[in-house]
Amino acid sequence: MHLLARFKGPNGEIRVLEDPVTGARLYEEGRVAQSRVLPGGEADVLYIRLMASLLTGSPAALLLGCGGGSLASMLCRRGSRVAVVEVNPISFQLARTFFWMPNGIECITADVRAFARRNARTFDAIGIDVGGPRFSYPNVLDQPTIARIRRTLCEEGRIAVNISLDAPDDPVPGVIADRLAAADLEVWAFTEHPGSEEINTVILGSASSEAPSALASIAGDSWSLAQLSPRLGRRRRAQACRPGARNSAVTSAGN
């Protein structure tokens, strides 16, 4: 890998590296890989491509977390108006200078929780891909923040949250899934098959009922798919019609 640039970042040294064979570029911070982007701006990371598939087709998309900007670039080039929130403004400069992020993408420098408190806009799709050294998903995506983010989601919109697992049995995806379900979203989990260096779970919170077959098609052979919770509002209505009835907490994608 060729070193293209080196900067001092809030979580350690930031390096931009380029593969001399493919031209793919790597954004690394504190020795942790943040993005790998193909020439032109397409992601060379499996979970980013999954998130793009889940959020494509939305007129207005909000992304919390920038990295190399590949998710923003992909959604923008597929017709969405994209706003990106990132606490570290150097990410925007890096994404445009080294990772082909279009100039038309709105860039907002803010902490995720602070932005969620003051934001009054609504979006059709929301992607959350935040992390880094010493990062805590439960602390940043606490229940009040999730509730505020939910209020910015338009009717029938989707929220996709990427979580990098510390271990295959990492409890964090379940914690975030429970908070999305408490915000009256139907919740699904796409979990990367073991074998890669880094295993990710993408949690999908949907404000409408999803077709399991359509989600399974998006998952393909690279992801395991499970429904974790139906929409709370729909579940309450079902229970009202059937007193004493109980709902299964986990449903396989084939059901």
Structural domain includes residue 196? yes
Structural domain includes residue 59? yes
User: Dihedral of CA 145/171/187/184: which sign?
Assistant: negative
Mean pLDDT of 37-56: 95
pLDDT at 56: 95
pLDDT (tens digit, 9 = 90+) per residue, 95-137? 999 999 999 999 999 999 999 999 999 999 999 999 766 678 8
Structural domain includes residue 21? no
pLDDT at 33: 82
Instruction: Indicate the range of 20-24, 76-80, 87-91, 172-176 predicted with least confidence.
Output: 87-91
Residue 79 φ/ψ region, left for φ over 0, alpha for ψ in the -120 to 50 degree band, beta for the rest: left
Domain limits for position 225:
46-252
pLDDT (tens digit, 9 = 90+) per residue, 166-188? 787 889 999 999 999 999 999 99
218 pLDDT above the threshold of 90: yes
Instruction: Report whether 192 contacts 162 (CB < 8 A).
Output: no
Domain count, the chain: 1
Structural domain includes residue 217? yes
Mean pLDDT of 193-204: 82
Q: Which CATH number belongs to the domain containing residue 168 in this structure?
A: 3.40.50.150
The residue whose two tokens read 């909000």 is 62
Distance from CA of residue 98 to its chain's centroid? 22
- Higher per-residue pLDDT: 33 or 110: 110
Q: Distance (Å, rounded) from C-alpha 35 to C-alpha 54?
A: 19
- Higher per-residue pLDDT: 226 or 251: 226
Mean pLDDT of 185-197: 86
Q: Can you name the residues that pair with 84 across neighbouring β-strands?
A: 63, 107
Structural domain includes residue 226? yes
Which of the four pLDDT bands, split at 50, 70 and 90, describes residue 234?
low
Residue 41 φ/ψ region, left for φ over 0, alpha for ψ in the -120 to 50 degree band, beta for the rest: left
pTM of this structure: 0.87
Mean pLDDT of 191-213: 88
Q: List C-alpha distances in Å: 189 to 28, 52, 70, 202.
A: 27, 15, 22, 6
pLDDT at 134: 67
192-195: long-range contacts (C-beta < 8 A, 24 or more apart)?
192/46, 192/47, 192/222, 192/223, 193/222, 193/223, 193/224, 194/168
Structural domain includes residue 204? yes
Work out the number of other CB atoms within 10 angstroms of the CB of residue 147: 15
Structural domain includes residue 199? yes
pLDDT (tens digit, 9 = 90+) per residue, 242-255? 334 333 333 344 43
Q: List C-alpha distances in Å: 255 to 160, 172, 216, 249.
A: 22, 25, 11, 13
Structural domain includes residue 191? yes
